[in-house]
Amino acid sequence: MISALKGEIDIQKLPVDSEEHKFNSWKVKYKKSHILHSKCVNGPCEDDKNKCLLCIYNSELELPHLPDMVFPNNVMVLQHDNGCGIEFNALDALRRVSNGKLSLKVACSEEWKESRQEHGNLDEVKPFDWTFTTDYMGTLLGNFIVRQTDERINIEKLRQREQILFYNDLTLFEDELHDNGIAVCSVKVRVMPSSFFVLLRYFLRVDNVMLRTNDTRLYHEFGTDFILREYTSRAAQASEIKHVPPSVLREPNEVTPLLPLIESHYSKLSFPESSSSGIK
Ligand SMILES: [Zn+2]
C-alpha cells in the first residue's frame, strides 16, 4: 500500500503466470511475471531480510547498473523425481557477467566508444561489461556428476517430427545498448514424448561493431540417466560478416550459424536413476 502511494509497484505482489507439468520422472515448471522495477519499493531497503527484488539484485551483483529489462520472476525448472534438476533464472545469469575483465571485451568497447563518439554521446560509455555477456549454462540442482564427453546431441533425432507436449520461452534479461543494438538472454524448453530439449541463449548485436551468441543446449532422452549439455560461443566483428544482409543480422536463429566458433564445451550430466532420498 505504501509503495503504491509512492508510485512504485512491488512486482512481488503482482500476479504470476505459472504452470507445472509432469513428464515421466520429470517435473517441468515455469513462472513468468513483470519486469524488475527501477526504483526501490521501500526507498531504501535497510533491512537485510526484507529487501525488495531490486535491492537484492543490486547487492548480489557487482554491476554498476542492470540491463534495461530484467525479469526476476521468470524462472524455468526441470526437475527429476530424485531431486536433480536445472533451473534458469536472471540473477544467476547476471552473476556470470564478467564485468569487462576480458581484453576482448575492452577492445570491443573501444570500437563502440569510437562509434558512439560520432553520435556525440560518449559520456554514457560505462567502464564495465555493458554488453552483459554471460556464459551462464543454467543452475544445477541436486547431485549431478558432470563430465566432459565426446557424445553429441542427436540433431537428426531432434529434427524428426514428434508431438510437442510442452513448449515455453522466457526472457531473463534484455538491454538495447542505448539503441546501439541488443543484448538478450532467453531460454526455450520443448518437451516431446521421447525427450526434452532446452536452448538457453545469450545474443548480442552491437550495430556496426560485432555479434556474439553464447548457446547452451540440453538434451535428455527419457529413460536414460543423463543429460547432454553443449555450450558454444560464437562471435564475429562486423567487418568479418560484411556480406550478411542486415535483416539476417537481426535474426539470432539465422545469423548464429554464420558466426565463427570461438569456444565450446561438451558435458554429460549424470544423475542417480532412483531416488536416494525416497522422494517419489
Ligand atoms: Zn529496495
Ligand 1 center–CA 96 separation, angstroms: 23
Host H or E run for residue 18: strand 17-23
Domain carrying residue 94: 17-270
Classify residue 54: in a domain, yes or no. yes
Ligand 1 center–CA 48 separation, angstroms: 10
Ligand 1 center–CA 61 separation, angstroms: 14
Ligand 1 center–CA 62 separation, angstroms: 16
Host H or E run for residue 212: strand 210-221
Classify residue 5: in a domain, yes or no. no
Helix (H, G, I), strand (E, B) or coil at 156: helix
The cell numbers describing 217, all together, are: 543446449
Classify residue 11: in a domain, yes or no. no
Classify residue 277: in a domain, yes or no. no
Classify residue 89: in a domain, yes or no. yes
pLDDT at 141: 96
Classify residue 10: in a domain, yes or no. no
**DSSP state, 97?**
B
Ligand 1 center–CA 89 separation, angstroms: 20
Q: Which residues contact 269 (CB under 8 A, 6 or more apart)?
A: 140, 144, 145, 146, 226, 227, 228, 229
**Domain tally, the chain:** 1
The cell numbers describing 39, all together, are: 526504483
Task: Please give the model's pTM, rounded to 2 decimal places.
Answer: 0.85
Classify residue 6: in a domain, yes or no. no
Ligand 1 center–CA 42 separation, angstroms: 5
Instruction: Give the residue ranges of the chain where pLDDT is below 70.
Output: 1-12, 99-127, 273-280
Ligand 1 center–CA 242 separation, angstroms: 45
Ligand 1 center–CA 174 separation, angstroms: 21
The cell numbers describing 58, all together, are: 543490486
Ligand 1 center–CA 35 separation, angstroms: 15
Classify residue 229: in a domain, yes or no. yes
